[in-house]
Each structure stands twice: as C-alpha cells, then as structure tokens.
C-alpha cells in the first residue's frame, strides 16, 4: 500500500533515522492512514529518550510526565506527539500510572496499547530527498485483520486491560462509534462485567471521553453502547432511568419512551457544540420524577423542565463542567419548553431572549428542532417559523436600558439628582414605555419626557 505522508512527517522520520534512532508512526494515525482517512493527529513512538528527542527536534516542547515531546506545525491544528517506547500505558489502581517506565523495544510499547487497531506501527524508509522508498507495517496483534473486519478488540485479555485502566472501556465505546466498528464479543462482555470500575476514573477524563462521544457523527450509537454495556448506569444513571418511561397519550405526538426520545433527539441535533448536544440529550431527564397518568389516560410531566434543570446541574457538577458550560447547559434545558404561540406579546418574546441569552438563541432553536424530530414530529411548524421571524423583529427594538438613547448621566443632569438607585428606576420606567411602544427611542423625545418627570 502506498502511503501519502506529509512533508513534516517525512522530515521527522528521516531526522530520527539520521541520528540512528528507531521511529514509527503509531496509534490512530496508522489506523486512519490504512482506512484512507485524513489524519489529524500524528503520533510517533521511538527508542530515543525525551532528551534525545529534543536534540533531534530542538523546537519540540516537553511538558508532561509521560515522556511525550510535542511539536507544532503551521499546517496542523494538533501538535505532533513523539513518545519514547513505554512499558506502562496503564493505571494499576484503574486510574493513574504509578510510574512511567521507558521500554526498550517497539514490542513492549505495542503490548501496552489499548486496541489491536491502535497497536499498529508504520516504519518508512526515505531517500535523502524525502522520497518514500519503502514501508513496513508492524502488526503484532492482527490489527490489520480487525481493521478490515471493522472490529474493535482489546490487545490481550480484555478484562485485565480494563482493570489496568478503566477509561479504556469508554474509549472502546467512543472509538467503535467514531469508526462504525463492532466491539468484539469478549471485549464487550469484559466491559459489561467491569463497568463499575469506571467510577475510579477521574471525572475530568470521563467528561473528555463523553464529550468526544457527544461530538461524534455517530453519537446515537455511542449512547446505545453506553446503555447496553452498563456504563451509562455508572456515568449518567439519571439518563438510564428515562428508558421505559412511557409518554404516549391520546392525541399526542410522542411515539417513544423518554429515554429513546432523548437519544433520538441527540441523533437529530445538528449542532457541533457539545453543550448544545448534551442539553439535547438531557432536556427531559426530569420526566421520570414528574410522570403522572390521569384518569383520561393522558400522561403529564408537569414542571419537568425545572426538575430536568436541577438534575442537569448535578450532572454538570459531577462531571466538572466549567461554569460557562454549566450556565449554557442549564439555560438550554430550563427554557426548552418555550412557547412559539403567535399570541404572546413582544415583551414576552424579548423576555425569552433575555432568559436564554441572545448568544444561545440559535442553539435553543436547534434543540427544539431536534426535540420535535426526536418525537416523530415534523421538523418545523408554521408557528415555529413565525416565531423565528419575530425573534429577529423584536431585536430591532432596544433590548435593555443600555440600548436607550439616553443614559444615567442624562437622568442625573436633567433631574438634578445624585447617582443612586433612583437613576436606574427612572431609566427602567422609560425603557418599559419604549418597550411597550408608548414612546419612541429617540434622544430628544426621551429628554423631554425626563423634563416632565421633573415636575411630577
Ligand atoms: P484519537 O486521536 O482520535 O483520540 P487515537 O487512537 O489516536 O485516537 P489517542 O488518545 O490520541 O487516541 O492515543 C494515541 C494512541 O495511544 C492510541 O491509538 C493507543 O494506541 C494509545 N493509547 C491512548 N490511550 C490509551 C490507554 N488509555 N491505554 C492504552 N493505550 C492507549
Ligand atoms: Mg491520537
């Protein structure tokens, strides 16, 4: 097979060889090369120690305890990572490496990698002018065969490997989803049997993998896998509880139970923002707690958005989301029941925008679109289309007192009052009138209105 290697990669391979070091392209990069996918993440493994690596690439940076030297290139968003052969990728207490030991051979290094398709290494022989003269694929675990059959299989004994580092179970789900591979039977059973070990992993690492699953094109399959393996019950038990909660009522459009509806909504969500996708996944997570079946057979979930918000807040804290991420997640869930009724006033529409945050309105609408499609409804309704037009219309009017054509200083000067709460009250009063369109947002008109206040 001919490999199309970028010049930057060829130069690294060649420079290491010139210095008599072994060097291989390894991991996801080899997997993606073989699958003829664009490689975004170049990883290398070498017998050179970090100090020796830095001698070959002086502009590399070495800032972690795993012996990885990174090097940035203009044409690549992620730095290339060059790592000394390791004998330990694992984490003996299922979560953190006791010590990092350098390996002497490629064989030792590959034995510690997670999946057979990730344990392939590629060596290239280059001419002085960087022409690829030949390549050798090192495949000690039948990775190539698994790649062809689209199978994700642990290297060695799966149960042992997951006991060393429980995050590998989540990586299995994520990578299988990304590649659209099946998880091999023994590997899958080992995940089911060891799912509880995931609780020993640092929440930040879990969040990183979970967000990668969320962001992927195939996130629906990822979450199905999480559910089937029992990992969901460990990481997001609140979501597991939604499965089997019926919501079909006479004359209502819901065709799925709550859990399936949430996964279907995620499937339809086209946002690339993981928080919007997470909010879409969790928006009805409070429904099990608010479920009521009336005598008429109608099922209600009164105030479920409030309960969903509370649960989402706990999840956000547990998974160590940043404050900004949590804030957005909560807003999208809290207001997902927004009305698109044509009877609501302009100020109600504007209140909606203020509540959700102008910067989140697009994503809120995307959540609604995904929610509708995920319930088996049509993508849009004329009401939703009209509502979108109104969202734009109402933004042409001033939005808050900051948009008024007069400010606090004008109020103080005209009314001859010192700064204090009174100034805000006056601005608020004027803003209400502008918002209700009883007066225009025009500087002269507002100033003359102020003059009237003076004598009131
Ligand atoms: P992607 O870059 O898309 O996340 P990748 O396979 O390159 O996929 P990385 O996290 O970049 O994954 O890791 C690079 C390689 O390091 C993997 O292909 C695998 O060989 C090895 N690896 C990473 N994490 C682990 C782990 N927890 N246990 C064992 N090997 C691992
Ligand atoms: Mg990688």
> pLDDT, tens digit, for every residue of 382-421?
888 899 899 888 887 777 888 899 999 999 999 999 999 9
Q: Decide if 424 is inside a domain.
A: yes
Residue 12: domain span: 7-149
Distances (CA, A) of 426 to 62, 105, 430, 445, 451: 59, 77, 6, 15, 12
Q: Is 292 exposed, middle or buried (0-12, 13-18, 19+ CB in 10 A)?
A: exposed
Q: What is the CATH number of the domain that holds 222?
A: 1.10.110.30
Regarding whether 414 and 294 lie in a shared domain, the answer is: no
Using CA atoms, how far apart are residues 317 and 312, in angstroms rounded to an integer?
9
Regarding whether 104 and 16 lie in a shared domain, the answer is: yes
Q: Is 109 near ligand 1, meaning CB less than 6 Å away? A: no
Using CA atoms, how far apart are residues 392 and 376, in angstroms rounded to an integer?
28
Domain boundary among 99, 119, 149: 149
Q: Is 164 near ligand 1, meaning CB less than 6 Å away? A: no
Q: What is the CATH number of the domain that holds 18?
A: 3.30.460.10
Regarding whether 144 and 159 lie in a shared domain, the answer is: no
For atom 1 of ligand 1, the residue with the nearest CA is 28
Regarding whether 326 and 255 lie in a shared domain, the answer is: yes
Regarding whether 242 and 280 lie in a shared domain, the answer is: yes
Regarding whether 244 and 390 lie in a shared domain, the answer is: yes
pTM over 0.75: yes
User: With 80 as the cut, is the pLDDT of residue 123 above it?
Assistant: yes
Instruction: Give the whole-number percent of the chain exceeding pLDDT 70.
Output: 96
Which of 56, 26, 183, 45 is CA-nearest to residue 120?
A: 26
Q: What is the CATH number of the domain that holds 419?
A: 1.10.246
Distances (CA, A) of 21 to 55, 137, 386: 12, 18, 66
Q: Decide if 1 is inside a domain.
A: no
Domain boundary among 235, 260, 288: 235
251-284 pLDDT, tens digit each: 766 789 999 999 999 999 999 999 999 999 999 9
Q: Decide if 2 is inside a domain.
A: no
User: With 80 as the cut, is the pLDDT of residue 59 above it?
Assistant: yes
Mutating to test ligand 1, I would choose from 25, 26, 27, 157 the residue with most ligand atoms within 8 A of its C-beta, which is 27
pLDDT score for 248: 79
Distances (CA, A) of 407 to 234, 251, 256, 315: 54, 52, 53, 42
Regarding whether 55 and 162 lie in a shared domain, the answer is: no
Q: Decide if 282 is inside a domain.
A: yes
Using CA atoms, how far apart are residues 286 and 290, in angstroms rounded to an integer?
7
Regarding whether 89 and 50 lie in a shared domain, the answer is: yes
343-365 pLDDT, tens digit each: 888 889 988 999 999 999 999 99
Using CA atoms, how far apart are residues 453 and 450, in angstroms rounded to an integer?
5
Regarding whether 325 and 244 lie in a shared domain, the answer is: yes
Residue 10 contacts by C-beta under 8 Å, 6 or more apart in sequence? 124, 126, 130, 132
Q: Decide if 190 is inside a domain.
A: yes
Regarding whether 164 and 133 lie in a shared domain, the answer is: no
Q: Decide if 304 is inside a domain.
A: yes
Regarding whether 363 and 251 lie in a shared domain, the answer is: yes
Phi and psi torsions of 195, nearest 5°? -50, -35
Using CA atoms, how far apart are residues 162 and 201, in angstroms rounded to an integer?
11
Mutating to test ligand 1, I would choose from 31, 116, 155, 171 the residue with most ligand atoms within 8 A of its C-beta, which is 171
Query: How many structural domains comprise the chain?
Result: 4
442-456 pLDDT, tens digit each: 999 999 999 888 777
Domain boundary among 149, 169, 189: 149
Q: Is 332 exposed, middle or buried (0-12, 13-18, 19+ CB in 10 A)?
A: buried
User: With 60 as the cut, is the pLDDT of residue 5 above it?
Assistant: yes
Q: What is the CATH number of the domain that holds 279?
A: 1.10.3210
**For residue 211, how far is its CA from the centre of ligand 2 (angstroms)?**
16
Q: Is 46 near ligand 1, meaning CB less than 6 Å away? A: no
Regarding whether 125 and 195 lie in a shared domain, the answer is: no
């Amino acid at each position: 097979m001919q490999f199309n290697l970028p010049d930057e990669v060829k130069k690294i391979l060649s420079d290491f060889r010139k210095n008599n070091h072994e060097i291989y392209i390894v991991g996801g990069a080899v997997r993606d090369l073989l699958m003829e996918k664009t490689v975004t993440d170049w990883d290398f493994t070498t017998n050179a120690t970090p100090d020796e690596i830095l001698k070959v690439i002086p502009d590399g940076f070495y800032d972690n305890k795993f012996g990885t030297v990174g090097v940035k290139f203009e044409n690549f968003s992620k730095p290339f990572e060059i790592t000394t052969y390791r004998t330990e990728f694992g984490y003996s207490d299922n979560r953190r490496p006791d010590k990092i030991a350098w390996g002497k051979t490629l064989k030792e290094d590959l034995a510690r990698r997670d999946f057979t398709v990730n344990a392939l290494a590629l060596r290239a022989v280059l001419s002085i002018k960087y022409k690829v003269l030949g390549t050798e694929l090192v495949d000690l675990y039948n990775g190539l065969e698994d790649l062809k059959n689209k199978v994700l299989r642990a290297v060695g004994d799966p149960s042992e490997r997951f006991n060393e580092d429980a995050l590998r179970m989540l990586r299995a789900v994520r990578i299988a989803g990304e590649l659209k591979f099946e998880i091999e039977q023994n590997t899958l059973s080992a995940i089911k049997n060891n799912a509880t070990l995931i609780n020993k992993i640092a929440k930040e690492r879990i969040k990183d993998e979970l967000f990668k699953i969320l962001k992927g094109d195939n996130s629906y399959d990822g979450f199905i896998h999480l559910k089937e393996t029992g990992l969901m019950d460990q990481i997001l038990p609140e979501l597991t509880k939604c499965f089997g909660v019926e919501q079909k009522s006479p004359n209502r459009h819901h065709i799925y139970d709550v859990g399936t509806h949430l996964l279907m909504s995620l499937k339809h969500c086209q946002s690339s923002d993981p928080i919007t996708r997470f909010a879409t996944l969790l928006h009805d997570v409070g429904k099990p707690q608010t479920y009521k079946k009336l005598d008429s057979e109608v099922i209600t979930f009164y105030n479920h958005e409030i309960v969903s918000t509370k649960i989402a807040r706990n999840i956000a804290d547990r998974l160590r989301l940043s404050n900004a991420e949590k804030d957005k997640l909560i807003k999208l869930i809290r207001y997902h029941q927004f009305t698109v009724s044509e009877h609501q006033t302009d100020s109600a529409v504007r209140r909606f925008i203020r509540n959700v945050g102008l910067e989140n309105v697009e994503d809120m609408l995307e959540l609604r679109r995904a929610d509708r499609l995920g319930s088996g409804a049509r993508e849009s309704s004329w009401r939703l289309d009209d509502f979108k037009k109104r969202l734009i219309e109402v933004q042409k009017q001033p939005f808050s007192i900051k948009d008024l054509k007069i400010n606090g200083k004008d109020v103080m000067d005209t009314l001859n009052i010192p700064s204090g709460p009174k100034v805000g009250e006056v601005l608020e009063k004027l803003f209400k009138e502008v918002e209700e369109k009883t007066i225009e947002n025009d500087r002269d008109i507002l100033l003359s209105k102020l003059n009237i206040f003076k004598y009131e």
